[in-house]
């Protein structure tokens, strides 16, 4: 499973990328707004920091404009993936961009039917928003399971990118349900390593090592 960061905070991105286990990144217009940095500069900086796909969203109503924006975005850096909304216009734009080998990510997916549309349009990724489904008292992880089943029934090669992650449980449950990628906000990412039994175990190992009087170096 690939780990993407869901962030536009360059300092946080650099901090977590230094771990060496980040495979890509996603942004969205709200995260761009939060960054308060000129758009193109921000995207270029993120794309040179991250050695993997970086999703950047088009903001247009008509498919022709989405395609134009997508082409412009894809010229900003080699690792750009063009994000398109799950609308008929987004589907049309996805078909067009796929034809010219621009990588795409169909976003705001809330049903298996929508995920089928994304696959048929040739999307590289589809982004089911599992946290927002949970917020609406629906089962986000169940949607990942459904999409996985449908995609394997028909050998679709669109990758399932679990998005709108709220907890570390979402990360593991998405993996179990068969997501190819999970995109994780930095705050949630920081919690992945935590377990109280790890802390307790380490404390005992360290204290016993001290008592043993041994040395490694
Ligand atoms: C994914 O690409 C989106 O940027 C993101 O996961 C949305 O998450 P939210 O529901 O927490 O805004």
List pLDDT tens digits, range 150-160.
999 999 999 99
Q: Angle, to 10 degrees, between the axis of helix 10-17 and the axis of helix 39-49? A: 0
In terms of residue numbers, what domain contains 83?
2-212
Residues with CB under 6 A from ligand 1: 6, 26, 28, 107, 127, 129, 131-132, 163-164, 183
In a domain, 21, yes or no: yes
Q: How confident is the model at residue 49 (pLDDT cuts 50, 70, 90)?
A: very high
Residue nearest (by alpha carbon) to ligand 1 atom 10: 164
The question of whether 159 is a catalytic residue gets the answer no
Distance 200 CA to ligand 1 centre (A): 34
Distance 217 CA to ligand 1 centre (A): 46
Q: Give the CATH number for residue 192.
A: 3.20.20.70
Residue nearest (by alpha carbon) to ligand 1 atom 5: 164
Cβ-contact 31, 8 below 8 angstroms = yes
The total number of structural domains in the chain stands at: 1
In a domain, 208, yes or no: yes
pLDDT of residue 167: 98
Residue 91 — φ and ψ, nearest 5°? Answer: -65, -45
Q: What is the pLDDT of residues 60-75, one digit of tens each?
A: 999 999 999 999 999 9
**Any residues with CB less than 8 A from the CB of 179 and at least 6 apart, and which?**
1, 144, 148, 160, 161, 162
Distance 75 CA to ligand 1 centre (A): 24
In a domain, 57, yes or no: yes
In a domain, 73, yes or no: yes
In a domain, 217, yes or no: no
In a domain, 82, yes or no: yes
Taking residue 88's Cβ as centre, other Cβ atoms within 10 Å add up to 10
Q: Which of 34, 36, 41, 83 is catalytic?
A: 83
């Amino acid at each position: 499973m690939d780990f993407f960061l869901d962030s536009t905070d360059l300092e946080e991105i650099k901090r977590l990328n230094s771990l060496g286990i980040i495979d890509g990144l996603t942004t969205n217009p709200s995260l761009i707004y939060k960054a308060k940095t000129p758009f193109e500069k921000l995207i270029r900086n993120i794309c040179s920091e991250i050695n993997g796909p970086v999703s950047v969203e088009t903001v247009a109503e008509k498919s022709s404009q989405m395609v134009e924006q997508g082409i412009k975005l894809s010229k900003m850096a080699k690792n750009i993936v063009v994000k398109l909304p799950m609308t008929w216009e987004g589907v049309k734009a996805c078909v067009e961009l796929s034809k010219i080998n621009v990588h795409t990510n169909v976003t705001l997916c809330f049903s298996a039917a929508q995920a089928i549309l994304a696959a048929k349009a040739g999307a590289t990724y589809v982004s089911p928003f599992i946290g927002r489904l949970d917020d609406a008292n629906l089962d986000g992880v169940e949607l990942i399971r459904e999409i996985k089943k449908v995609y394997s029934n028909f050998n679709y090669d669109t990758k399932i990118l679990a998005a709108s992650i709220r907890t570390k449980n979402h990360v593991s449950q998405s993996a179990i349900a068969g997501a190819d990628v999970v995109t994780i906000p930095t705050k949630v990412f920081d919690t992945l390593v935590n377990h109280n039994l790890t802390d307790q175990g380490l404390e005992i190992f360290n204290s016993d090592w001290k008592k043993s009087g041994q040395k490694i170096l």
